[in-house]
């Protein structure tokens, strides 16, 4: 009997250049290789410009996010209400296939009264939404934006309590699962390992030629980190620095080209991004929001040489041990200068391999998903 699965995403998972998107990308790939017929639904602000590889899916439906849909309900976050296209509800109602919602901000259909809930429904949780929006409130300079993100943090706290009252399965990443269990909430919660794709450990023996920051540059937090590096680290440190990622703003592109030793690569292909990571001497990945499960960091660790982060980049203590840590702009500057001239040792490669072998549990995660689907 064929297995079908609807997957609803808040944004296009291609390219997988954000922490939660890497998990989705490799989960979809594993399901497809196991014969599951995946039907993708996703919202994307640049949906008319970005393509999705059709060989991954039996069907794909794109929806434009409507940012003018303002929510006045205390239990409906703005980032959920703006992804409330009625066409999505209608298409999901056309059959009884199981549905996996990737993240709370994709779940308006469950909130909708016209949605047929008598079926298998699951939500993939990979971050604490309330904490995420509270962190965004701290890094934006505008008072209106700060208030907006603070309200979102409060609304998401109300919203998840409303969702847990339904008969829904929650598949949480290990760290999020442990956080939820501490609250003693009584609902159907399973710990589903992060999908990583089993990347092979790869490092060129010779020294890399530049420092690299990469990610989905349209995200507020990613753009903030890129600007921060340009303004506080590579403003005085004159070694080659490359920013790479999707959909950068014109302001970021201009800022990246102000100095002769910094530049920006806009919308690189997956292959081009992999080559950039392989050729970089140092991957600089600071974060200014709390990232519980930084799945995207795995790509840097498996393909890159030195990785320089701060404590907010990941909660994984073992990941911190095999990366280089910095706190202040001065520490980032000093360590970047030092690591740019330091070779990547065999001992570091061994530690990296041991860490990555522990993280690769795609078979375990796939078995759990197939059991749920059957």
- Our CA angle for 334, 349, 353, nearest 5°, is 125
Which whole number is the average pLDDT over 97-121? 93
List Cβ neighbours of 29 (8 Å cut-off, separation of 6 or more).
Answer: 56, 197
Q: Which residues pair with 306 in a beta bridge?
A: 282
- Average pLDDT across the chain, whole number: 89
DSSP 58: S
Task: Report d(CA 245, CA 180) in Å as an integer.
Answer: 32
Listed range (62-66, 144-148, 221-225, 303-307) with the worst mean pLDDT:
62-66
Using the predicted structure, report yes or no on whether residue 182 has a pLDDT greater than 70: no
Before 15, cis peptide (omega within 30)?
Answer: yes
DSSP 207: P
Using the predicted structure, report yes or no on whether residue 319 has a pLDDT greater than 80: yes
Which whole number is the average pLDDT over 315-332? 93
Using the predicted structure, report yes or no on whether residue 139 has a pLDDT greater than 70: yes
Residue 356 banded pLDDT, cuts 50, 70, 90: confident
Which whole number is the average pLDDT over 34-54? 77
Residue 284, classed as helix, strand or coil, is strand
pTM of the model: 0.85
Instruction: Identify the structural domains of the chain with CATH numbers, from first to last.
Output: 4-193 (3.40.50.2000), 211-358 (3.40.50.2000)
Using the predicted structure, report yes or no on whether residue 310 has a pLDDT greater than 60: yes
Alpha helix segments (H runs only) across the chain: 19-33, 78-81, 86-92, 108-111, 129-139, 143-163, 174-182, 220-232, 250-256, 270-279, 297-303, 317-322, 329-340, 346-359, 362-373
Task: Report d(CA 116, CA 166) in Å as an integer.
Answer: 13
* pLDDT at residue 361 in the model: 86
Contact status, residue 332 vs residue 284, Cβ threshold 8 Å: yes
Using the predicted structure, report yes or no on whether residue 158 has a pLDDT greater than 50: yes
**Furthest C-alpha separation in the chain:** 62
Using the predicted structure, report yes or no on whether residue 348 has a pLDDT greater than 60: yes
Using the predicted structure, report yes or no on whether residue 224 has a pLDDT greater than 80: yes
* pLDDT at residue 360 in the model: 81
Sign of CA dihedral 174, 52, 40, 265: positive
* pLDDT at residue 200 in the model: 59
* pLDDT at residue 134 in the model: 93
For residue 11, the Cα-to-chain-centroid distance in whole angstroms is: 10
Which whole number is the average pLDDT over 213-230? 95
* pLDDT at residue 48 in the model: 44
Q: How many CB atoms lie within 10 A of CB 151?
A: 16
Q: Output 271 or 210, whichever has higher pLDDT.
A: 210
pLDDT tens for each residue of 10-40: 988 887 777 678 889 889 999 999 999 999 9
What percent of the chain is modeled with pLDDT above 70? 94
* pLDDT at residue 184 in the model: 55
Phi, psi of 121 (to 5 degrees): -130, 135
Task: Report d(CA 374, CA 372) in Å as an integer.
Answer: 6
Q: Which residues pair with 345 in a beta bridge?
A: none
Which pair of tokens denotes residue 277?
């990571």
Task: Classify each residue of 159-198 as buried b or exposed e, where b means 16 or more C-beta atoms within 10 Å of its C-beta.
Answer: bbeebbeeebbbbbbebbbebbeeeeeeeebebbbbbbbe
Residue 366, classed as helix, strand or coil, is helix
Task: Report d(CA 361, CA 359) in Å as an integer.
Answer: 6
Task: Report d(CA 8, CA 101) in Å as an integer.
Answer: 5
Round to the nearest angstrom and report the end-to-end CA distance of the chain: 9
Task: Report d(CA 281, CA 365) in Å as an integer.
Answer: 33
Closest CA to 308 of 317, 318, 319: 319
* pLDDT at residue 198 in the model: 63
């Amino acid at each position: 009997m064929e297995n079908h699965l609807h997957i609803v995403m808040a944004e296009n998972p291609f390219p997988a250049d954000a922490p939660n998107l890497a998990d989705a990308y490799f989960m979809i790939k594993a399901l497809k290789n196991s014969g599951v017929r995946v039907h993708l639904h996703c919202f994307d602000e640049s949906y008319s410009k970005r393509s999705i590889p059709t060989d991954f899916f039996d069907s794909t439906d794109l929806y434009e996010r409507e940012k003018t849909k303002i929510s006045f309900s205390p239990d409906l976050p703005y980032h959920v209400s703006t992804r409330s296209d009625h066409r999505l509800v209608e298409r999901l109602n056309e059959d009884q296939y199981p549905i996996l919602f990737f993240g709370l901000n994709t779940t308006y259909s469950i909130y909708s009264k016209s949605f047929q809930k008598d079926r298998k429904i699951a939500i993939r949780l990979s971050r604490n939404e309330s904490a995420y929006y509270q962190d965004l409130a701290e890094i934006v300079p505008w008072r209106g934006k700060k208030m907006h993100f603070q309200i979102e943090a409060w609304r998401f706290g109300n919203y998840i309590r409303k969702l847990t009252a339904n008969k829904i399965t929650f598949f949480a990443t290990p760290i999020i699962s442990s956080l939820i269990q501490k609250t003693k909430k009584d609902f159907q919660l399973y710990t589903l390992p992060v999908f990583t794709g089993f990347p092979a450990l790869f490092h060129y023996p010779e020294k890399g030629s530049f420092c690299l920051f990469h990610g989905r540059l349209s995200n507020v937090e990613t753009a903030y980190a890129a600007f921060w590096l340009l303004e506080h680290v590579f403003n005085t440190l004159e070694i080659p620095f490359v920013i790479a990622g999707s959909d950068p703003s014109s302001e970021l592109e201009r800022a990246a080209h102000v100095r002769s030793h910094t530049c920006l690569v806009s919308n690189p292909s997956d292959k081009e991004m992999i080559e950039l990571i392989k050729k970089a001497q140092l991957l600089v990945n600071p974060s200014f929001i709390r990232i519980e499960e930084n799945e995207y960091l795995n790509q840097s660790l498996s393909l890159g040489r030195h990785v320089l982060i701060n404590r907010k980049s990941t909660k994984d203590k073992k990941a911190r041990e095999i990366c280089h840590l910095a706190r202040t702009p001065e520490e980032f500057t000093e360590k970047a200068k030092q690591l740019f001239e330091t070779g990547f040792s065999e001992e570091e490669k061994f530690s990296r391999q041991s860490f990555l072998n522990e993280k690769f549990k795609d078979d375990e995660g796939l078995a759990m998903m197939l059991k749920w689907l059957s």
